[in-house]
Amino acid sequence: MTQQRLFTRLLLAVIVPLVLVTATLWPVLHVHLETQQQNTRSEIRAILKVSENTLWRDINETLSYALAIAEMPTIKALMTKDGKAGLGSPAPEQLTGFLSTLIKHYPRYTKLMLIDNQGVEVLRIPGDTPSDPRLARRDHANTDYFKSASELFARDLYISPPGRNLQYEIFSGEVIPVVNVATPVFDDQGERQGMVLLSLNWQHLTEAVHQAAQMEPTAGVILTDAQGRWLLTERNQQLPPMSFGDDYAQLTDESWQHITGLDKGVLTQENRLLRFQRMDMRRQTHQGLAGHIFSQDDTLPWVLGVSLPNPTWKSLLQDDASVVWFLLLIYSTAVALGIYWAFSSHQQRLLRHQAQQRAIEVSNLYESAPCGYHSLNADGVIIKMNQTELDWLGLTRDAVGYRCYRDFISSDSLLDFDQAFQEVKAGRQGEAECKLVATDGEQRQVVIQSVGYLEQDRFIYSNASVFDITDRKHLEEKLRAQAMTDPLTGVFNRRYLQAQASVEISRASRHQTPISLIAIDIDHFKQINDDYGHDAGDEVLKRFADEIKGLLRQEDLLCRVGGEEFAVLLPNTTLEEAWQVAERIRATVEKAHVSIEHDDTPATITITASFGVTHVASNEKTLKAAIKRADNGLYEAKDTGRNRIVIRKL
């Protein structure tokens, strides 16, 4: 049972700390996780902003250059049929040199072209003819950029979708998608003279976006057109492998559904947090000098997005070892404390149980001790009492608190009790031999030993042990009586006569009263023994004593002083009165018949006795002289025929 309880406590000691620590740490870790997620969101927002700015910056610069070139007088002059260097004439070296430098210095451009109103190429920088047959033609009349830009007003711009409609070029030995930016050229009279076309190296542009995103190595970038066509040229390691032109919408159908409905937003894609926003260059306001910007409407707006790993509990623990150690430390400390609590409380419980057992044992000992225990307050009221003493006094526990102990002390013991109680109240030990009287009147001789408990010299209560000495007292009295009594006849013996004689003599002396003594001896007692046996003799002695006792007063002392010799001490009795007593005894004995069994035959014995009578003189301190006188009288009675009384005076 104890082991099972310990096991339960140990189980609780493990579970409760785990639950408590978890309940305590959960909000903290949750906040920590939320903070991490918030930080991730902020980081994504920042990367997205930088990526967007990078993209816009390059595109805007391109727009600016295109517009600036279209505004250049030499360009206008070159494009104007009526100018000095009209169409069909080669471009001045100075102009081609300037434009070549521009294209070389900005690797984001693959080429610059001037196209006349018929779609015929007027100037191409760089000037070498591409070997790719797709790009070899000089007639641009059927291209989307030509068709679109031919209808634009001054300072309007057309931007082709990246890589759309075969807009690829071979650049540095590889085929790359391009974005064509076209703006019309008008002469000073407002006549449309053709257009300027700048081809943007889309790979270069998106690389810049990538680099911006690489501020955070785990960041991933998405860039698609409005249809979900993948516009990035570089592989993005954080996403499923996508190549330029792949259908992102189809690959991530669910996410794309989410994206298509919103201008911007945040969504969770697998374990990554993706923030996206729309980019519509038609609504670009950067170009304060630009007119309208046109493009293929079905491809815009683009979707630019940045993703980062979304912090989770798992990533939190994996990325931050200190959190794991911290949790391990907290949990192990809590469990260790719990186990310590389980063992210590188990130990305390055992100790408490043992203490309770001891208390019960002590209480049992107290309650059922063979002696009484009680405590009294200063007024003598019982404030505590064990069951033994309650039983002695015939009380129930209800008596505690209001009954006075003194009420149960016999009147002849009150003085001793009061004296002892005063001692106790004074802080000393008190002892009294008293007689307790129970509610039913039963008396009990006891010895009360008590000590007082004092505080600052003020008595508070007493603690008393009460020993029942009734049996001892009875035994003492019995022994005392036996010591003073003749066992055969039950009358006093010689020792008692001598002891009591001095008491009676001094009393007689005090009260000036006479005191007399009778010596008695059975006549021919030896003959009775001889005739009937010793037992018969004993029976005669008992009967003889009984006969005499019946003739004496309470205060007279009948004593057996020898084998068949008796003495009677008669306080307050004159010699004459003593003689009368002796005569009464003699006459009674003479008439007495003692019935015995002798040899299985009933027999009757008659006896006589001789007497010596004297009185104790007032100057005699002991009985010695009086006994001698009485014996002398007795001897004379024997000598003169027995069955008679002889008085001996002083």
Ligand X SMILES: Nc1nc2c(ncn2[C@@H]2O[C@H](COP(=O)(O)OP(=O)(O)OP(=O)(O)O)[C@@H](O)[C@H]2O)c(=O)[nH]1
CB 267 within 8 A of CB 274: yes
Active-site hit among 169, 389, 504, 564: 564
Contact 400, 380 (CB under 8 A): no
Minimum CB separation of residue 610 from ligand X in Å reads 7
Q: Please say which residue, 183 or 489, places its beta carbon nearer to ligand X.
A: 489
CB-nearer residue toward ligand X: 97 or 563: 563
Other Cβ atoms less than 10 A from the Cβ of 136: the count is 9
649 contacts 529 by C-beta, under 8 angstroms: no
Q: The sheet that has 565-571: what strands, in order across it?
A: 492-493, 557-560, 565-571, 515-522, 609-615, 645-647
- H-assigned helices in 377-493: 387-393, 414-425, 470-484
Alpha helices (H) in 198-320, listed in sequence order? 202-213, 248-251, 253-260, 313-319
Kindly state the smallest distance separating residue 526's Cβ from ligand X, in Å. Answer: 3
Radius of gyration of the chain (CA): 71
43 vs 539, beta carbon nearer ligand X: 539
In sequence order, what are the residues at sequence separation of 6 or more whose Cβ sits closer than 8 angstroms to the Cβ of residue 415? none
Helix (H) or strand (E) holding 56: helix 2-71
Give residues with Cβ within 8 angstroms of 101, minimum separation 6: none
62 three-state secondary structure: helix
Which amino acid makes up residue 418?
Answer: D
Comparison of 15 and 488: residue with beta carbon closer to ligand X: 488
Comparing CB distances to ligand X, the nearer of 169 and 564 is: 564
- Catalytic, 442? Answer no
What does the alpha-carbon distance between residue 121 and residue 197 come to, in Å, rounded to a whole number? 10
Nearer to ligand X, 345 or 529 (CB): 529
181 contacts 159 by C-beta, under 8 angstroms: yes
Cβ distance 62 to 108 under 8 Å? yes
Q: Which residue has the tokens 């990246």?
A: 162
Closest approach, Cβ 540 to ligand X, in A, equals 7
How far is residue 498's CA from residue 517's CA, in Å, rounded to a whole number?
12
The CA distance from 2 to 489, in Å, is 72
We find the least distance from the C-beta atom of residue 646 to ligand X, in angstroms, to be 14
- Terminal Cα distance for the chain, rounded: 96
Distance, CA of 542 to CA of 27 (rounded, Å): 109
Alpha helices in 428-533, H assignment, sequence order: 470-484, 494-511, 525-532
Q: How far is the CB of 579 from ligand X (least distance, A)?
A: 21
Question: 340, 409, 411: which is closest to 380 by C-alpha?
Answer: 409
- The answer to whether the peptide bond before residue 301 is cis (omega within 30 degrees of 0) is yes
- How far is the C-alpha of 588 from the C-alpha of 582, rounded, in Å? 10
Question: CB-wise, 227 or 529, nearer to ligand X?
Answer: 529
- Contact call for residues 180 and 296 (beta carbons, < 8 A): no
Could you list the residues that contact ligand X (CB under 6 A)? 521-527, 529, 534, 537-538, 541, 563-564, 638
Q: How many CB atoms lie within 10 A of CB 535?
A: 12
Nearest distance from C-beta of residue 523 to ligand X, angstroms: 4
Residue 594 CB, nearest approach to ligand X (Å): 12
Handedness of CA 292, 298, 302, 303 (dihedral sign): positive
The minimum distance between CB 541 and ligand X, in angstroms, equals 6
Sign of the alpha-carbon dihedral angle for 550, 551, 556, 562: negative
DSSP reduced 3-state for 243: coil
Which residue is listed with tokens 């003479």? 590
The least distance separating ligand X from the CB of residue 616, rounded to whole angstroms, comes to 25
**N residues, the chain:** 650
- Rounded to a whole number of angstroms, the minimum distance from the CB of residue 640 to ligand X is 12
Using the minimum distance from each CB to ligand X, give the nearer residue, 524 or 553.
524
Enumerate the active-site residues.
564
